[in-house]
Amino acid sequence: MQETVAAAINRATLEVFALIVGVDVVAEPHGQSMWPALETNIISSFRLSGSIAGMAQVCYTLPLANRITCQMLQIEPPAGEPDVLDAAGEVANMIVGNVKNSLESRWGPIRIGTPAVEFKDDSGEKPQAMRMNFRCCGDIFAVSVAFQEDILC
């Protein structure tokens, strides 16, 4: 299961950043990069339900979210807070939607809840989450999917 989820996260993230943001990202080898715990992060969270249930998150540092926003909107930095939150949520929505589509072909229908995009000091991520880190513009961001424990049985 983890290899399938990791492959879906990797493929979706690379495609969305190349097509929508217009920049290439590189997957970090698993466990090699540390998440900057003391920085302010923007976290987009989505509830998953249906054939599998859990939570999907995309977490960016604030400087990276600002760069992504400026790239997408083709504006000079800094971008305004509402634009940064909107762009972070939109990119996350596309990544999670692509992951969902990949997983549905294997496990059946999955619904994605309305995204919650917010500033946090850390990712608040659950330890059982399948998490992949990516490097973009010299910064790191993470995409994770955590299934409810009873679903994994």
Span 78-136, pLDDT tens digits: 999 999 999 999 999 999 999 999 999 888 999 999 989 998 875 455 555 788 999 98
- Can you give the pTM of this predicted structure? 0.86
For residue 49, give the CATH number of its domain: 3.40.1550.10
**Is residue 109 reached through a cis peptide bond, with omega within 30 degrees of 0 on the bond before it?**
no
Residue 21 CA: distances (Å) to CA of 26, 69, 74, 91, 97? 14, 8, 10, 8, 16
pLDDT at 147: 81
Q: How many domains does the chain have?
A: 1
Q: Quote the domain boundaries for residue 102.
A: 2-30+39-151
pLDDT bin (cut points 50, 70, 90) of residue 37 is low
pLDDT at 153: 36
pLDDT bin (cut points 50, 70, 90) of residue 34 is low
